[in-house]
Structure formats: structure tokens, C-alpha cells
Amino acid sequence: MENQKYAKIFKIVLWVLMILSVCVLVWGFFTGFEANDGAATNVLLYWAYIVLGLAILAVVCLGLYITATTNPKGLIKIGIAVAGVAILFGICYLLASGSPAVGYSGATPPSASELKMTDTILNMAYIVGGAAILSIIAGEILMTIRNKK
């Protein structure tokens, strides 16, 4: 019975978000995306950020709520995973050089902190991508060894 209540609430919230998104999009088309120094584009992007933030917040909060109610010991695993990601981010930040962009021809060069953060995110992408590839290869090797009886 309670699941039906949550499903109804989610359905209403999704419809409201959909209607608001369509309204923002239609407003952007009527005002012109390039008119007023791209104000409609800015509003559309900010709305996308808001909806993305709401989605991430909903997933995290609901995941924590469900884990806390069904398996309280699972919160420890979540805490360990968050700590691992924070440590990985710290390592990537320490490895980031923040050197100026080569061949950049923009009007204003990026600041040193922007370059450092960009390098940090690139390092994280490299490490996580490499780990994903290695885990796929290791998984296939382990499956082959286990099924070779």
C-alpha cells in the first residue's frame, strides 16, 4: 500500500517537472535562444542544472533511506565507498599539474585553479576508465578459469 503512495507521488512530481521543462523550452523558442545575449539559453541551462541536481539528490537520498531501513550495515559500505572516492579525488588533485593550455586562443585564458581542476577531472577519468578496462579483462579471465573444470 505504501509503495503505491510513493509511486503516485513520484508520478505527480515527474509530471510537474515535465510540464515545467516544456514551458521553459517553449519560452526559449518564442523569445529566441540568441536574442537578449542568450538569456533563454542561460535559463534553459540553469533549469537543466536544477533538474540534474534534483535527480542526483533524489537518488542519493532515496538510496540512503532505503539502505538505512532495509540494511543499516550497508551504510558502512557506502561510507567506505565515499571515503575511497574522496581519497581518489585527493590523489588526482595532487597529481594535477595545472599547466597552461597549449594552443589556447580564447579571449580570456583560464585561471590557475580552473586548469588545476580540469587536470584533476582528466586524471580521475583516466584512472576510472583504466580501472574499468582492467576489471573487465580480469573478470573475463576469472570467469574463464572458474568455468574450465
Confidence band for 2, pLDDT divided at 50, 70 and 90: low
Same domain for 78 and 54? no
Q: Can you give 74-116 as a three-state secondary structure string?
A: HHHHHHHHHHHHHHHHHHHHHHCCCCCCCCCCCCCCCCHHHHH
Are residues 114 and 42 both part of a single domain? Answer: no
Q: Quote the number of domains for the chain.
A: 2
Same domain, 50 and 109: no
Mean per-residue pLDDT for 4-13? 80
Specify whether 148 is located in the same domain as 80.
yes
Q: Out of 72, 88, 113, pick the residue that ends a domain.
A: 72
Q: Are residues 52 and 106 in the same domain?
A: no
97 and 130: one domain? yes
Closest by CA position to 28, among listed 14, 45, 52, 49: 45
Which range, 72-81, 92-101, 122-131, is most confident?
Answer: 122-131
97 pLDDT exceeds 80?
yes
Express as a percent the part of the chain with pLDDT over 90: 32
Same domain, 17 and 28: yes
Residues contacting residue 123 through CB under 8 Å, at least 6 positions apart: 92, 95, 96
**Alpha carbon 20 to chain centroid, angstroms:** 22
Residue 106 has pLDDT above 80, yes or no: no
Residues 100, 131, single domain; the answer is yes
pLDDT class for 29, splitting at 50, 70, 90? confident
Same domain? For 77 and 135 the reply is yes
For residue 21, the enclosing domain spans: 1-72
Last residue of a domain, one of 43, 72, 101: 72
Tell me: pLDDT of 51 over 70: yes
User: How many other CB atoms sit within 10 Å of the CB of residue 120?
Assistant: 20
Q: Does the structure show a pLDDT above 90 at 103?
A: no
Give the tens place of pLDDT for each residue, 57-79.
888 888 888 888 888 888 898 88
Is the domain of 66 the same as that of 86?
Answer: no
* Final residue in a domain of this structure, among 15, 37, 72: 72
